[in-house]
Amino acid sequence: MVSVAQIETALREVLEEDADRLAQETGFIQRQRAFRGAQFAQALVFGWLDQADATLDELTQVAQECEISISAPGLSKRFTAEAAQFLHALLKRLVEKVMAAEPVEVPLLRRFSAVIVEDSSVVTLPTALVEVWHGYGGSGSASQSAAKLHVRLELLTGSLQGPSLSDARLPDTHSPFRDELGPWESLHLRDLGYYDLGWLKHLLARPPGQRLKRYFLIRFKGATVLLTRSGHRLNLRGLLPQQVGQVREYGVLVGAQARIPARLIRLAGPRGGGQAETGALGGGSQGPG
């Protein structure tokens, strides 16, 4: 487990040494100014950490504690495109340095070269940023601007990739990590939002002579066409387990045209006075072999 002392050391390195370097690399600091990149970052981080809706005047007070003498209008002028790039780069560095989780010690998962979980989260932004970050649209006082943060966690090492930013309206099926398939013999875990037959075919495709595979486990959409391995269409209603907690598995082909070989996994559970079920698809090969 990572200790508090280790986290403190990592934060100091990022918010001091790395911040100055990243400010130069992103063009936020191009020449000697009254403050350094580290001071600017610390003023914002500590100011908004103390008060999420801190005003410019309140942020300038925090800036003074970071040895920055600047007025509210002067601070406002520092919020440029280069400043945004600098803070984004700093966030990514913080994630790489500090936010990595402990590896998952599950013997079953050690059968794979990597176990990759991907997810996203949406952050609502002021409507004034709608030209930069497009949200889902809003009515009344609802903001029309939002950003989506995409991240990937590799369970065997605990390494975290991202966050990679996109418009909130970008579907998860078009994730910035879409074409990063991971090593052979890796397992990809996905929720329903990532369900895409084109991506599954891309994940499982193997060049001639390649015997290693990639694997997936993903929830499937109810409208998905499932076929038997001999090509006959399945009636899912007849495949529901009859007892709560019961699991059934079937070898299937996914998609009327794609015909991706997989296993259908169905689990029956209680739901009020009736019965609910969850379903997932798991697979790891395409074509011969």
Range of the domain at 143: 107-180
Mean per-residue pLDDT over the chain, rounded: 84
Residue 200 · residue 260 · CB < 8 Å: yes
Residue 137 has pLDDT above 80, yes or no: no
**Shared-domain flag, residues 187 and 213:** yes
Same domain, 277 and 196: yes
Both 195 and 275 in one domain: the answer is: yes
Residues 288, 186 share a domain = yes
Instruction: Evaluate whether 222 touches 283 at the Cβ level (below 8 Å).
Output: no
Q: Is the pLDDT of residue 139 over 70?
A: no
Question: H/E element holding 201?
Answer: helix 197-204
40 confidence band (pLDDT: 50, 70, 90): very high
Q: Is 275 exposed, middle or buried (0-12, 13-18, 19+ CB in 10 A)?
A: middle
Q: How confident is the model at residue 287 (pLDDT cuts 50, 70, 90)?
A: very low
pTM comes to 0.77
Residues 52 and 139 in one domain: no
Q: Are residues 156 and 255 in the same domain?
A: no
Q: Do 201 and 250 belong to one domain?
A: yes
E-strand stretches of the chain: 114-125, 145-154, 159-167, 186-190, 215-219, 226-227, 247-254, 260-271, 274-283
pLDDT at 195 over 70: yes
Average pLDDT over residues 136-153: 82
- Identify the domain boundary among 98, 129, 163: 98
pLDDT in tens, 219-257: 888 788 888 888 888 877 766 666 677 787 888 898 889
Percent of the chain's residues with pLDDT above 90: 38
Report pLDDT digits (tens) over 53-68.
899 999 999 998 888 8
Kindly state whether residues 203 and 286 are assigned to the same domain.
Answer: yes
Domain count, the chain: 3
- With b for 16 or more beta-carbon neighbours within 10 A and e for fewer, the 133-163 pattern comes to bbbeeeeeeebbbbbbbbbbbbbbeebbbbb
The model's confidence at residue 278, banded by pLDDT at 50, 70 and 90, is: low
Last residue of a domain, one of 98, 131, 162: 98
**Each residue of 103-120: pLDDT tens digit?**
777 888 889 999 999 999
Same domain, 198 and 175: no
pLDDT score recorded for residue 148? 94
Q: What is the pLDDT of residues 172-187, one digit of tens each?
A: 999 999 999 999 999 9
**In whole angstroms, what is the distance from residue 278 CA to residue 289 CA?**
29
Q: What is the pLDDT of residue 108?
A: 86
pLDDT attached to residue 60: 92
- Average pLDDT over every residue of 87-115: 81
Crossing angle for the helix pair 37-50 and 56-65, to the nearest 10 degrees: 120
More reliable by pLDDT, 2 or 81: 81
Position 216 scores a pLDDT of 92
Q: Do 31 and 67 reside in the same domain of the chain?
A: yes
- What spatial distance separates the first Cα and last Cα of the chain, rounded to whole Å? 41
Instruction: Say if residue 94 is in the same domain as residue 65.
Output: yes
pLDDT band at 3 (very low <50, low <70, confident <90, very high): low
Residues 89 and 112 in one domain: no
- Last residue of one domain, picked from the residues 163, 180, 197: 180
